[in-house]
Amino acid sequence: MITKLLSLLKVGSPKIDLVLDQNEINPGGKIAGSFHLKGGWTSQKIKRLECDLVKDDHGKKPMIIQPVTTVLMSQTIDPKDKKEFPFHCQLPEQLTPSSERISYRLQTKLVFMDDVKSVDHDELIVTKYE
C-alpha cells in the first residue's frame, strides 16, 4: 500500500532523461541523442515511452507539432537499473525560428502500467537558415 502511494506521488519512481547531441537546429534538420532510463526505489513495469515536439507560443496553450516517437514496452525496470535507447528525428521544414515569443521543446514521457508518468522536457532552439 505504501509503495503504491509513493508511486502515485512519483516519489522514488524511475526517471527518464533525453540527452541530445545538440539543441540548436535548422528547420528540417535531423537531431539525435539517447533516452536515459534510471530505475527508482522499486521495480516498475513500463507500458510505453513517448516523445513529442511541442511549440510554446507566449500567451497561447502549448501545441504538439508532431509526435516524434512512441515505443511500446512490456518490460520491468528494477531499482538502480540503467538503460539507454537511441533517439533520432527530423524536424518539419516549416518551423518558425525560435524567438522571445516562440520556443520549442521535446517532451518525453515514460508511462508505467498504473498510468503514472515520468516527464522530461528538453528545449530546442530552431535557428534561421543562413
Return the domain boundaries, the chain.
2-126
Contact 109, 67 (CB under 8 A): no
β pairing state of 44-57 and 102-112? antiparallel
Whether domain 2-126 has CATH 2.60.40.3880: yes
Question: How many secondary structure helices (H) and strands (E) does the chain include?
Answer: 1, 8
Partners of 15 in the beta sheet?
38
Per-residue pLDDT of the chain (130 residues; tens, 9 = 90+): 455 555 455 556 789 999 999 999 999 999 999 999 998 888 888 999 999 999 999 889 999 999 999 988 888 889 889 999 999 999 999 999 999 999 999 999 999 888 888 899 999 999 976 5
How far is residue 53's CA from residue 93's CA, in Å, rounded to a whole number?
A: 13
